[in-house]
């Protein structure tokens, strides 16, 4: 019978021992701020760079040997260009005299009669690229692109310039040959409007996209948070058990409390430290994303309450299950690095369901989803994912069954863990093999 | 039951324990009583630590029974027992007071009582001033004394001290001896496991010698010493020694005369004979074997 007063004493000591460390405080409060600043700064920098590239009217040379774009009506002299296009020409130092331009925001084409002249400007960096419509374009469709060797490896040109040029060519090929209405349809043949038939009726797809984001996002977020809390807490678990051995307090502990009580106390105390860390991070994330939360609330998206309500229970059991295994195997090591090596396998097993997340999101109630529901390592995340995405697809008996398997496994892992923990704590020097460990665990009783 | 008729606080009855093929304990019987200091002796690897661990429910015996305070060993009664293991230490980067309070809490004290007791025992070992210091800033001797304070924190009815004097200077050895004697005066039992035989002679009331998992010596200290000594007396006399029929050998050494007695002869008989013969006896003492001699001889004799 576990004596909870002892469990409380162990939990409190372990919790305070970790929470009072400056490294814990620094990681808990400093890490999110540091990463937010770092990632925010990087994102802002990239965003500013990309938007400047997109918004700036980059100039492209256009040489039309075929004459498909020769209609004077689409070309304008510099003086008739929009001011922003004029500014772009001036800023790159391109001589505008006697040159025609075609501006379809944000793309600005400068017309050249010969390749050499255009390539010369490209070489001087005044043009972003040169498009040459070959003289056999009508037969071959060939348009040759010349790029600068100093240009970007990944360019937004494919998404911006080339669709504009393609639409322009299509327009020039058909204009006057078909009626205007047909021309508009040829240029834009597909305007998709999506509607999904749900139990609640017909839902416009834009609204459901947000719902899917929330439904898929919640399990993903929960999964990430579970793993973060688990791996963070298990790091402390492994450290504490190795430190017990290094500090040589093991026998005093074992003469005062049962291995079950020590193991449970450590699990709870360090789990609380991990949970506190997680809550601080979560509070920072929620605080930072308050505007987004308001937006989601205004969209009237059904929140998967069943999954949210069930998640603490599943995650606590999941933590106790994997944590007890980590603690037990961690106790077999004689130092912190050795204990960490020994527990690596459990950490990988804990991460496994996140690796199958794509399949689970695609087919939550498929055979993989059903299988992972019954495996204690993957049950917490799988059940929550299935309940989040499509609550009607998972039967109550499946949830209850998964819970029962997880409960039984947790009980078993704590029992077995405590036994291994006792052997592990009393071990010193060379670590024996698994067979010997099992034999010793049997001999203890 | 002991000679004085009281129930032992700790009793091992036919305790056996093996680790695989290795027999660590082979049917050991031992009793420890309240108000005594019990010396648990034996060479390295004899099985002392295994026996202690079984007594503290850290290990379970393969056979036999352990009775603690008159009943079968239960975890609950272990709160009345404390243990200072030979392989010991303190939590690093933890304040002394916090570490001791934690040990007290584990033994069932409330937080306040554990804290008060920690302060009291730190004061007893002269270390109250380090209560707020981190344990890793203590010297080895200080750390030893803090651990001794930890073992005495709950004023346990039974305290197991494994090599409590190691790492202590003579002043602190004296302090720990005083604390052990105070426990005896308070009617509490102490098991002292040590290799320092002079401390055993000085402190222990009864002893047991364990060797190769067997109890090879057991009983009150004086009785054990007498049983394992050749009958011999040491005298200082004025004048000639007479012929004494119960004496088999006489050795003169630095003004002393050692008289080796016949088996079965009584030292009192020698003294009477000397007085009757008109010899002026200035000193007379029974010579008993030292615990170290007994330890060495018994271990050698019982080695396989």
Summarised one tens digit per residue, pLDDT across range A111-155 is 999 999 999 999 888 888 999 999 999 999 999 999 877 766 556
Q: For residue A196, is it within any domain?
A: no
- Strand stretches in A199-306, DSSP E: 201-204
Q: CB distance from A19 to chain B under 8 Å? A: no
Summarised one tens digit per residue, pLDDT across range A294-352 is 655 555 556 667 777 787 788 778 888 888 888 888 878 777 788 788 888 888 887 77
From A187, A213, A229, the end of a domain falls on A187
Q: For residue B117, is it within any domain?
A: yes
Residues of B in Cβ contact (< 8 Å) with A428: 87
Residues of B in Cβ contact (< 8 Å) with A445: 60
Residue A301 pLDDT: 58
Cα(A152)–Cα(A49) distance, rounded to whole angstroms? 13
pLDDT, mean of residues B91-119: 93
Residue B173 vs residue A92, higher pLDDT = B173
Q: Does one domain contain both A122 and A10?
A: no
Residue A288 pLDDT: 63
Q: For residue B96, is it within any domain?
A: yes
Name A202's bridge partners: A197
Cα(B108)–Cα(B190) distance, rounded to whole angstroms? 20
pLDDT, mean of residues A417-437: 67
Half-sphere exposure of B76 (CA within 13 A, CB side): 6
> For residue A160, is pLDDT > 60?
yes
pLDDT, mean of residues A368-376: 89
Q: Are B44 and B197 in contact (CB under 8 A)?
A: no
Can you say whether the dihedral through the CA atoms of A201, A205, A207, A211 is positive or negative? Answer: positive
Non-local CB neighbours of A193 within 8 Å, separated by 6+ positions: A204, A205
Query: Per mean pLDDT, which range of A61-70, A217-226, A398-407, B269-278 is the poorest?
Result: A217-226
Chain B residue closest in CA terms to A5 = B108
* Average of per-residue pLDDT values in chain B: 90
Q: Rounded to 5 degrees, what are φ and ψ at A122?
A: -65, -45
pLDDT band at A357 (very low <50, low <70, confident <90, very high): confident
Q: Does one domain contain both B176 and B278?
A: no
pLDDT band at B187 (very low <50, low <70, confident <90, very high): very high
Q: Do B105 and A9 touch (CB under 8 A)?
A: yes
Name the domain count of chain B.
Answer: 2
Q: Are B94 and B134 in contact (CB under 8 A)?
A: yes
Q: Do B92 and A247 touch (CB under 8 A)?
A: yes
Q: Do B102 and A440 touch (CB under 8 A)?
A: no
Q: Does one domain contain both B120 and B211?
A: yes
Residue A385 pLDDT: 81
CA nearest to B210, candidates B47, B97, B77: B47
Residue B37 CB neighbours (<10 A) = 26
Complex ipTM:
0.84
Residue A424 pLDDT: 74
Q: Are A394 and A219 in contact (CB under 8 A)?
A: no
pLDDT, mean of residues B93-114: 94
Q: Which two structure tokens, joined as six digits, stand for A319? A: 């933590």
Q: Does one domain contain both A145 and A261?
A: no
Q: Does one domain contain both B253 and B186?
A: no
pLDDT, mean of residues B160-173: 92
Domain that holds residue B75: 10-225
Q: Are A389 and A231 in contact (CB under 8 A)?
A: no
Residue A213 pLDDT: 66
> For residue A39, is pLDDT > 90?
no
Q: Do B89 and A254 touch (CB under 8 A)?
A: no
pLDDT band at A72 (very low <50, low <70, confident <90, very high): confident
Query: Per mean pLDDT, which range of A129-143, A223-237, B33-47, B67-81 is the poorest?
Result: A223-237
Q: Does one domain contain both B242 and B200?
A: no
> For residue A55, is pLDDT > 60?
no
Of A243, A255, A443, the CB nearest to B56: A255
How far does chain B reach from its first CA to its final CA, in angstroms? 32
Residue A378 pLDDT: 85
From A187, A218, A236, the end of a domain falls on A187
CA nearest to A30, candidates A21, A351, B148, B270: A21
Residue A359 pLDDT: 81
Residue B99 pLDDT: 93
Non-local CB neighbours of A129 within 8 Å, separated by 6+ positions: A60, A61, A122, A145, A146, A147, A148, A151, A157, A161
Residue A305 pLDDT: 74
Q: Does one domain contain both B219 and B236?
A: no
Q: Does one domain contain both B49 and B126?
A: yes
> For residue A238, is pLDDT > 70?
yes
The distance of Cα A422 from the centroid of its chain, to the nearest Å, equals 40
% residues pLDDT > 70 (chain B):
98
> For residue B170, is pLDDT > 70?
yes
Residue A53 pLDDT: 57
> For residue A272, is pLDDT > 90?
no
* Average of per-residue pLDDT values in chain A: 80
Query: Is residue A271 helix, strand or coil?
Result: helix
> For residue B151, is pLDDT > 90?
yes
> For residue B36, is pLDDT > 90?
yes
Q: For residue A266, is it within any domain?
A: yes
Q: For residue B116, is it within any domain?
A: yes
* Min Cα separation A440/chain B (Å): 7
> For residue A190, is pLDDT > 90?
no
* Min Cα separation A248/chain B (Å): 5
- Strand stretches in B138-181, DSSP E: 158-162
pLDDT band at B147 (very low <50, low <70, confident <90, very high): very high
Chain B residue closest in CA terms to A261 = B106
Of A17, A246, A258, the CB nearest to B75: A258
Q: Does one domain contain both B88 and B176?
A: yes
Q: Does one domain contain both A210 and A145?
A: no
Q: For residue B3, is it within any domain?
A: no
Residue A120 maps to which CATH number?
3.40.190
Cα(A373)–Cα(A112) distance, rounded to whole angstroms? 66
Residue B266 maps to which CATH number?
3.30.70
% residues pLDDT > 70 (chain A):
78
Q: For residue A12, is it within any domain?
A: yes
Length of chain A: 445
DSSP structural state of residue A429: S
Of B57, B76, B89, the CB nearest to A247: B89
Residue A296 vs residue A417, higher pLDDT = A417
Q: Does one domain contain both A209 and A182?
A: no
Q: Rounded to 5 degrees, what are φ and ψ at B295?
A: -55, -50
Name the domain count of chain A.
Answer: 2
Residues of B in Cβ contact (< 8 Å) with A439: 20
Name A108's bridge partners: A59, A103
Q: Does one domain contain both A282 and A310?
A: yes
Cα(A142)–Cα(A409) distance, rounded to whole angstroms? 66
Which of A255, A428, A443 would best serve as a mutation to test chain B binding (most B beta carbons within 10 A)? Answer: A255
Residue B65 maps to which CATH number?
3.40.50.300
Q: For residue A119, is it within any domain?
A: yes
Q: Does one domain contain both A412 and A335?
A: yes
> For residue A380, is pLDDT > 90?
no
Summarised one tens digit per residue, pLDDT across range B206-265 is 999 999 999 999 999 989 988 888 888 889 988 788 888 888 888 888 888 888 888 878
Peptide bond into A106 cis (omega under 30): yes
Chain B residue closest in CA terms to A21 = B93
> For residue B3, is pLDDT > 50?
no
Domain that holds residue A294: 4-34+204-444
Cα(B145)–Cα(B124) distance, rounded to whole angstroms? 10
Q: Does one domain contain both B154 and B274?
A: no
Residue B161 pLDDT: 95
* Min Cα separation B229/chain A (Å): 38
Of B53, B87, B107, the CB nearest to A256: B107
pLDDT, mean of residues A54-72: 82
Which of A17, A247, A260 would best serve as a mutation to test chain B binding (most B beta carbons within 10 A)? Answer: A247
The pTM is what?
0.71
Q: Does one domain contain both A149 and A214?
A: no
User: With left for phi above 0 and alpha for psi between -120 and 50, is residue A203 left, alpha or beta?
Assistant: beta
């Amino acid at each position: 019978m576990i004596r909870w007063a002892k469990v409380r004493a162990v939990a409190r000591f372990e919790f305070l021992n970790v929470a009072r460390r400056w490294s814990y405080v620094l990681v808990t409060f400093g890490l999110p701020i540091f990463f937010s600043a770092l990632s925010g700064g990087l994102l802002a920098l990239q965003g500013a760079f990309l938007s400047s590239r997109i918004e700036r009217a980059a100039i492209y040379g256009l040489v039309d040997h075929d004459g498909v774009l020769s209609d004077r009506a689409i070309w304008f002299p510099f003086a008739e260009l929009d001011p922003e296009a004029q500014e772009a020409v001036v800023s790159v130092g391109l001589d505008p005299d006697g040159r025609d331009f075609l501006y379809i925001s944000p793309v600005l084409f400068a017309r050249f009669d010969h390749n050499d002249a255009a390539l010369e400007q490209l070489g001087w960096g005044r043009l972003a690229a040169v498009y040459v419509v070959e003289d056999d374009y009508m037969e071959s469709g060939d348009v040759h692109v010349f790029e600068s060797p100093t240009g970007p490896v990944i360019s937004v040109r494919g998404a911006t310039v080339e669709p504009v040029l393609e639409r322009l060519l299509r327009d020039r090929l058909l204009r006057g040959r078909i009626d205007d209405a047909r021309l508009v349809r040829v240029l834009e043949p597909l305007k998709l409007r999506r509607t999904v038939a749900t139990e609640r009726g017909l839902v416009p797809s834009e609204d459901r996209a947000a719902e899917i984001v929330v439904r898929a996002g919640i399990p993903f977020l929960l999964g990430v948070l579970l793993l973060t809390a688990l791996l963070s807490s298990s790091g402390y678990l492994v450290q504490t058990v190795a430190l017990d051995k290094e500090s040589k307090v093991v026998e005093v502990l074992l003469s005062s409390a049962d291995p079950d009580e020590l193991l449970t106390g450590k699990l709870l105390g360090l789990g609380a430290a991990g949970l506190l860390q997680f809550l601080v991070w979560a509070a920072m994330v929620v605080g930072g994303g308050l505007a987004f939360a308001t937006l989601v609330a205004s969209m009237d998206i059904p929140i998967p309450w069943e999954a949210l309500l069930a998640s603490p229970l599943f995650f606590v059991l999941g933590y106790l299950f994997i944590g007890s295994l980590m603690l037990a195997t961690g106790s077999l090591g004689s130092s912190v690095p050795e204990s960490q090596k020994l527990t690596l396998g459990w950490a990988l097993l804990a991460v496994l369901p996140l690796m199958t997340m794509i399949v689970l999101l695609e087919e939550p109630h498929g055979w993989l989803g059903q299988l992972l529901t019954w495996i204690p390592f993957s049950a917490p995340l799988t059940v929550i994912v299935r309940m989040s995405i499509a609550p009607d697809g998972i039967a109550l008996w499946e949830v209850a069954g998964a819970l029962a398997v997880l409960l039984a496994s947790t009980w078993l892992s704590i029992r077995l863990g405590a036994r291994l923990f006792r052997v592990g704590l009393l071990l010193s020097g060379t670590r024996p093999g698994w067979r010997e460990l099992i034999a010793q665990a049997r001999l203890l009783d | 039951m002991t000679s004085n008729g009281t129930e032992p606080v700790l009793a091992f009855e036919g305790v056996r324990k093996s680790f695989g093929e290795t027999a660590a304990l082979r049917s050991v019987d031992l009793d420890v009583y309240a108000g005594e200091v019990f010396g648990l002796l034996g060479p390295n690897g004899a099985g002392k630590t295994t026996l202690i661990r079984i007594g503290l429910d850290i290990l379970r015996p393969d056979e036999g029974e352990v009775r603690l305070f008159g009943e079968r060993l239960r975890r609950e009664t272990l709160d009345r027992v404390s243990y200072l293991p030979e392989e010991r230490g303190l939590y690093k980067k933890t304040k002394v007071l916090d570490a001791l309070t934690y040990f007290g809490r584990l033994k069932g004290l409330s937080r306040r009582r554990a804290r008060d007791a920690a302060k009291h025992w730190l004061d007893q070992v002269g270390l109250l001033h380090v209560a707020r210091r981190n344990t890793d800033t203590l010297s080895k001797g200080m750390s030893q004394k803090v651990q001794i304070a930890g073992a005495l924190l709950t004023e346990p009815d039974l305290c197991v001290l494994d090599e409590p004097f190691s790492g202590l200077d003579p002043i602190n050895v004296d302090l720990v001896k005083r604390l052990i004697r105070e426990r005896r005066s308070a009617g509490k039992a102490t098991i002292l496991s040590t290799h320092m035989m002079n401390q055993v002679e000085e402190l222990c009331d009864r002893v047991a010698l364990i060797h190769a998992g067997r109890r090879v010596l057991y009983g009150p200290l004086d009785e054990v010493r007498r049983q394992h000594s050749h009958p011999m007396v040491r005298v200082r006399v004025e004048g000639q020694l007479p012929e004494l029929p119960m004496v088999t050998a006489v050795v003169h050494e630095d003004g002393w005369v050692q008289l080796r007695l016949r088996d079965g002869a009584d030292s009192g008989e020698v003294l009477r004979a000397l007085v009757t013969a008109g010899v002026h006896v200035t000193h007379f003492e029974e010579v008993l074997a030292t615990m170290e001699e007994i330890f060495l001889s018994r271990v050698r004799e019982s080695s396989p």
